[in-house]
């Protein structure tokens, strides 16, 4: 959310060719996409919390939501950093910090790949975590 909010504020303040970059079509499309993705994250996590309260949340469901939301949040932060150009890397704008935070979130409690393996096991019924080898 912070990445989106920082990018939106920056787009309103940063001027290029005599206009705020928020007036450019590509910037508005990026902001709209970021907001749609952010809303998707909020809806997924809200539904996950509802399922948890009803004691219906499975490990595979939680992994699917974690994998999806971490990937999406990382993409939002990358888009925010990109929209801000070199300023997106400066500490004073905080976007690089949020981008790094999302890299950490996608790693702890099981990497993105591990979350995908948990979901894949649920889909196929086959665990790809370990393989028996002959010998």
Supply the residues annotated as catalytic. Answer: 109
User: Can you list the alpha helix ranges (DSSP code H) found in the chain?
Assistant: 2-13, 25-53, 59-83, 95-105, 112-124
Does residue 89 contact residue 96 with C-beta atoms inside 8 Å?
A: yes
Q: Is 75 helix (H, G, I), strand (E, B) or coil?
A: helix
Measured at the CA of 98, the angle between CA 108 and CA 73, to 5 degrees, comes to 65
Residue 15 pairs in a beta bridge with 20
3-state secondary structure 94-117: CHHHHHHHHHHHCCCCCCHHHHHH
């Amino acid at each position: 959310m912070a990445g989106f909010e920082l990018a939106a504020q920056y787009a309103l303040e940063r001027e290029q060719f005599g206009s705020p970059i928020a007036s450019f079509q590509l910037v508005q499309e990026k902001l709209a996409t970021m907001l749609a993705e952010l809303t998707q994250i909020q809806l997924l996590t809200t539904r996950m919390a509802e399922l948890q309260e009803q004691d219906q949340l499975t490990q595979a469901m939680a992994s699917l939501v974690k994998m999806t939301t971490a990937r999406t949040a990382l993409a939002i932060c990358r888009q925010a950093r990109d929209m801000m150009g070199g300023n997106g890397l400066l500490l004073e704008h905080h976007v690089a910090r949020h981008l790094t935070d999302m890299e950490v979130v996608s790693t702890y409690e099981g990497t993105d790949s591990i979350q995908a393996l948990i979901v894949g096991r649920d889909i196929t019924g086959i665990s790809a975590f370990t393989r028996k080898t002959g010998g």
